[in-house]
Amino acid sequence: MHRHTLHSPPSRVRRAAALLATGALIGGGLLVAPAAFAAPAPDAAPGDLGLTGADVMTHLTELSDISESFAADGYRVWNGPGYEAAAAYAEQVLEGTGAFTVSRQSFEVPTPEFGEASLTVAGTTYVGSHFDLSEGIDGDYTAPLALPTDADGAHLGCEAGDFATVPAGSIVLVQRGICTFEAKIDNATAAGAGAVFVYNNERPPEEGTTPDDQLTNVASGPRDENDSPAATLPQASGDAVAALIVAAPADAPVEGTAVIEKQFLVTESFNVIADSVAGDPDDTIVIGAHLDGVAEGPGVNDNGSGSAAVLALAEKIAASETPNDKRIRLALWSAEEVGLLGSTAYVDDLLANDPDELNRISAYLNYDMIGSENFTVGVYDADESTFEAPVEIPEGSVEIEKVYTDYFDAIEQPWIDTEYSGRSDYQAFIDNGIPAGGLFSGADDIKTEEQARLFGGTAGVFMDRNYHTVNDTLANVNRDAIDIFAPAIGHAAFALAWDAAVEPSPEPTPGEPSPEPTTEPTTEPTVAPTAEPTAEPTAAPSPSPSVTGGPAGGPRGGGLANTGSDVEGSPLPAIGLGMLALGLIVAAGTVIARRRTQQ
């Protein structure tokens, strides 16, 4: 998984959507239910197409085996044989349903080859590392060093004004944190920086690691040849150089020599796209997950888990006795781990060559990591009730968030907001005004005590201690998380692609029996992480708990979780028995009402 912000295309197709629900008139007034779906029986969830964790695990086991068999070739890295084998397996599954037409969409990837990355100051050479798609230097570059400074005296470089006193041509040292690497490099470039080094910030040490670990395998957005050359430094190196800069007199700044050796080749990769045979081709729901992983590990959670869910969902869509009313397009993206390139190439191609088809997409649902070993149940925070989004959120995304949260409330499953950051494959869609939402079980965010009380697991450590490491294996996938997320994924597809409720299809015979769920990883990580996660830290602090929130408890802004029910045994808000006796009719389904306007 990558969570970083990409540049928006120069022109955008603006889409808007609103979720429509049917209410019930009671005593002459309109009573709106908290969820847009019929209340489930105590032992049944609202329409979820019968998708289960066991269904997902069947495909996740296969993807794990494929990844492990290509360990010597970078597991499931986007340009390796493991990705090709995983894609072939996915195509076989999708075609085998008989309900989808399957194709490959090829695209070109700028592929970097790395050499030395270093900064030499006062006779000391500080060894750095590379961003994946940032620019390099032809030879070396010597210039005065400078620090951006914000109003609080920090050197984060998140605002253009932080560089007001940085002389053009400087080698700029920027601290990691708050905003994306891409934003820091963009701001430094706008200030005329000759080179940029981003140094690590302090992070809680994990077993076998220190806060000074080198930043490796990190993304800075798509390649922009106009950007200043950029690389990374460990925290201790950055702190040492920053101290030298601060100590130098204003009329005699300390100088440094930057070496960032890099060249770009062009390589081809492909996405797997599957269109449902059923459904209105003028109204398409796209559901996607990235199939590639990092070269450092098998990537079973990141993102074999989301990919396996998409494959299991395809089988449930095919098995439904009532065909979907809207066309469902399933997408398995490539090259997400090097900058969201597959999903971006897909959207950019439609924008350039078939904008009408792009305009037919009424929603995008994204699944990137749903089996984190120290998981939380995260829903993309489109209404910004907990996190202020660093991206523009398309109209209709709030309603998609409610599809998930109303579902979890109905089954009394706790959930939390996760930042609507655009740092996964939904970025290109929201850049073009397409409503989007999704689920996320956590990566390198620290689990809080309150989250541990809600979801189990261990507070004070990462939600996935195996993220981007050799330990991202099937043994370390949390089955409880898969069992929670799977039916929610089926429910969201049902809610958006069917115009009315359908009866769940009979349960198919499962492939392999699933093991008992566990709240802890089967195997503890055995080695220190080999690569720094690509995600930037969340700017907002962990939300405070609001376990009993929900419709009867008022707005949930800032609340940690919403368990839904305020009446034992019912997902509806507390209302008088007399009202219930009048026969509350809760909406049976939802539809996306699309505004076909462009800006």
For 61-106, give the secondary structure using H, E and C.
HHHHHHHHHCHHHCCCECCCHHHHHHHHHHHHHHHHCCCEEEEEEE
Q: Are strands 100-121 and 129-130 parallel, antiparallel or unpaired?
A: unpaired
Ordered alpha helix ranges (H), 354-396: 355-359
Q: What is residue 575's predicted lDDT score, i.e. its pLDDT?
A: 27
Tally of residues, the chain: 599
Which whole-number Å values give the CA distances from 272 to 65, 70, 93, 107, 386, in the listed order? Answer: 20, 20, 12, 12, 34
For residue 178, the model assigns a pLDDT of 86
Cα separation of 398 and 414, whole Å?
A: 19
The residues that bridge with 25 in the sheet, in sequence order, are 30
Specify which residues 263 forms β-bridges with: 113
Determine the residue type at 322: T
H-helix or E-strand containing 450? helix 449-455
CA distances from 240 to 85, 178, 202 (A): 46, 21, 14
CA nearest 565: which of 544, 580, 550?
A: 550
Would you state the pLDDT for residue 213? 66
What is the pLDDT, as a whole number, of residue 500? 62
Helix-helix angle 53-69:306-319, to 10 degrees: 130
With CA atoms as reference, report the closest residue to 129 among 69, 48, 213.
213
Q: Report pLDDT for 378.
A: 98
What's the confidence (pLDDT) of residue 152?
83
Contact predicate 99/87, CB 8 Å? no
Distance between CA atoms of 341 and 290, rounded to whole angstroms?
10
Q: pLDDT tens per residue, the chain (599 residues)?
A: 543 322 222 222 323 333 333 233 222 222 222 222 233 333 444 689 999 999 999 999 999 999 999 999 999 999 999 999 999 999 999 999 999 999 999 999 888 899 999 999 999 999 999 998 899 999 999 999 999 998 888 899 999 999 999 999 999 999 998 888 999 999 999 999 999 999 988 654 454 444 456 777 677 888 899 999 999 999 999 999 999 999 998 888 999 999 999 999 999 999 999 999 999 999 999 999 999 999 999 999 999 999 999 999 999 999 999 999 999 999 999 999 988 999 999 999 999 999 999 999 999 999 999 999 999 999 999 999 999 999 999 999 999 999 999 999 999 999 999 999 998 999 999 999 999 999 999 999 999 999 999 999 999 999 999 999 999 999 999 999 999 999 999 999 999 999 964 444 444 444 444 344 344 444 443 333 333 333 333 333 333 333 323 322 232 233 333 322 222 332 323 323 232 232 322 233 333 333 223 33
Q: Which of 94, 82, 86 is closest to 63 using CA atoms?
A: 86
Phi, psi of 246 (to 5 degrees): -65, -35
- Give the model's pLDDT for residue 158: 93
Give the closest residue to 413 by CA, choosing from 485, 494, 305, 496.
485
For residue 140, the SS3 value is coil
User: Counting beta carbons within 10 angstroms of the beta carbon of residue 577, is it exposed (0 to 12), middle (13 to 18) or buried (19 or more)?
Assistant: exposed
pLDDT given for residue 534 in this prediction: 37
Q: Are 454 and 484 in contact (CB under 8 A)?
A: no
Q: What CA–CA distance (Å, rounded) separates 572 from 287?
A: 29
Which is the catalytic residue, given 296, 315, 336, 337? 336
| DSSP run (H or E) holding 133 | none
- Residue-by-residue DSSP string for 6-25: PPPPSS----EEEEE---EE
Where does 98-140 show beta strands of DSSP type E?
100-121, 124-127, 129-130
Cβ atoms 309, 486 nearer than 8 A:
yes
pLDDT for res 530: 36
Is 384 a known active-site residue? no
Pairing verdict, β 416-418 and 591-595 = unpaired
